[in-house]
Amino acid sequence: PPPSLSVAPARHHHRLAAPNPSPNSQTPALMSMENPGPLPPAITPPMAPLPVHPPIAPIPIPVPPSTSAAADDDEVDYEVSDDHRAARERHERAVQELLQRRRAYAMAVPTNDSAVRARLRRLGEPITLFGEREMERRDRLRALMVRLEADGQFDRLLRVQEDEQGAPGDDDDMEQIQYPFFTEGTNQLLQARVDIAMYSLPRAKARVDRAKRRLADLDEDPEAEADLVVKQAGDFVLECSEIGDDRPLTGCSFSRDASMLATSSWSGILKVWSMPQITKIATLKGHTERATDVAFSPVDNCLATASADKTAKLWNSDGSLLMSFDGHLDRLARVAFHPSGKYLGTASFDKTWRLWDINTGTELLLQEGHSRSVYGVSFHPDGSLAASCGLDANARVWDLRSGRLYCTLIGHVKPVLGVGFSPNGHLVATASEDNFCRIWDLRTRQMLYSIPAHKSLISHVKFEPQEGYYLATSSYDTKAAVCIIRNFG
């Protein structure tokens, strides 16, 4: 018989297949296992390398002619904003200010004679000329520096300035140039200072004693007296009017007894009139340029005149010329007598004012100090002080007995054209082109009042000559104003 067949029990076959196999997949099927256990890890066959394609050349993009790189940048119009324009203007102004400061620094003229000589030596000029004085040497250096600047050699001045700073012994020179500086005076000036001191001290003592008596006297009422004087001033009326000259008048002055009035004009002719008849007494001819001011002497009938011909002249009231004062380097502005009548002060556009001896015609003092032209000069009622004002917007008070600068009155913003002392001795008034009249206290050296007196520049100011209860100002607005002063201390 055939051998018996034994049928083995059916066994399960396990098959692992990748889901959704692609037709090209090569995944082999797993064999059934006798004893199923953990499946072996899947074996990934190596993949075929990707084909390498050649690089693709860039496709050129045509550029429109309007955006061509060859377009010139200068042809493109840029719109500048207001902020950028304002910033550029500020930058230009800052550059200009810096250049002006450098120019002013280079144009500064030394005040010490040794420094002036050193500057002349570095500029290749002779350090002194025959008969040349210190002030003349300094004026020659200033003229030289102005000429070099006009010739376009400003850099040369800067180099000289830098060489002076780096020169040995510069510290010693700087110590010598410290302000205030003093210039050796003549024996005539020394004697004049002594004479002024002897004249002013008794007058100052009498003025102070009188003020003390008035303060101690209970019957004295300064307020009531001031009101009376001001009321009288309010009654001023036009007494008469007279044509003084064919050209504009520049100044007028009463004689000490008010019996005569002198006028000056642009024609260079001065006239003396009798008061109050207004009859012409004399005609004074001698100036070659316009006359700028006239002043009567406080002690006699002599009068002094100033002119644009750089001279001042002393006349008799009958028209005869007594003396001529020559020495200024530029035209004169104002002239004033010292209360003693022995000395004459002149203000000039050469940035100085000078003191002259009436009897000899000698120049006693050449006073510098203003940075621009000096326009006016006035003397204290005691004769101890002198005040000068100028186009630098400052007024300066000088002690004639010692030659020192007492104080500088700073407050105006435009040129100061007039200055005057009060009879009380401690007030001084200034008139300016800024339309203001300012009153200063000499004791505190401070400004007391600022008066907007006119609508145009104020040409002159003067106090009432007895007690100084009010002052009068003249202006280019065709008016004269009277201002009351309420200060009796």
Give residue for tokens 């780096």: 166
Contact 376, 418 (CB under 8 A): yes
Give residue for tokens 């008070």: 397
Helix boundaries (H) for 107-246: 113-122, 134-150, 154-166, 170-176, 187-216, 222-234
* 383: nearest Cα among 188, 203, 246: 203
Contact 384, 401 (CB under 8 A): yes
Residue 420, pLDDT score = 95
- CA-CA distance, 210 to 337, in Å (whole number)? 25
For residue 98 the two structure tokens come to 């810096």
Residue 235, pLDDT score = 79
For residue 190 the two structure tokens come to 């020394």
- CA-CA distance, 291 to 311, in Å (whole number)? 10
Residue 70, pLDDT score = 44
- CA-CA distance, 371 to 415, in Å (whole number)? 12
Q: How far is CA 376 from CA 249, 286, 347, 361, 426, in A?
A: 17, 22, 6, 21, 19
Residue 440, pLDDT score = 95
Task: Output the pTM of the full model.
Answer: 0.64
**What are the domain boundaries of the chain?**
102-155, 187-484
CATH 2.130.10.10 fits 187-484, yes or no: yes
pLDDT tens for the chain, 489 residues long, are 444 444 444 444 444 444 444 444 444 443 444 444 555 554 555 555 555 555 555 555 554 554 444 444 445 566 778 888 888 888 988 888 777 666 655 567 888 888 888 888 888 889 888 878 888 888 888 888 878 877 878 778 778 777 776 665 544 444 444 545 566 788 999 999 999 999 999 999 999 998 888 888 877 777 787 778 778 877 788 888 889 999 999 999 999 998 999 999 999 999 999 988 889 999 999 999 999 999 999 999 899 999 999 999 999 988 899 999 999 999 999 999 999 999 999 999 999 999 999 999 999 999 998 989 999 999 999 999 999 999 999 999 999 999 899 999 999 999 999 999 999 889 999 999 999 999 999 999 999 989 998 999 999 999 988 888 889 999 999 999 988 876 545
Cβ–Cβ contacts within 10 Å for residue 485, how many?
Answer: 22
For residue 248 the two structure tokens come to 């504009």
Q: In whole angstroms, how large is the CA radius of gyration of the chain?
A: 48
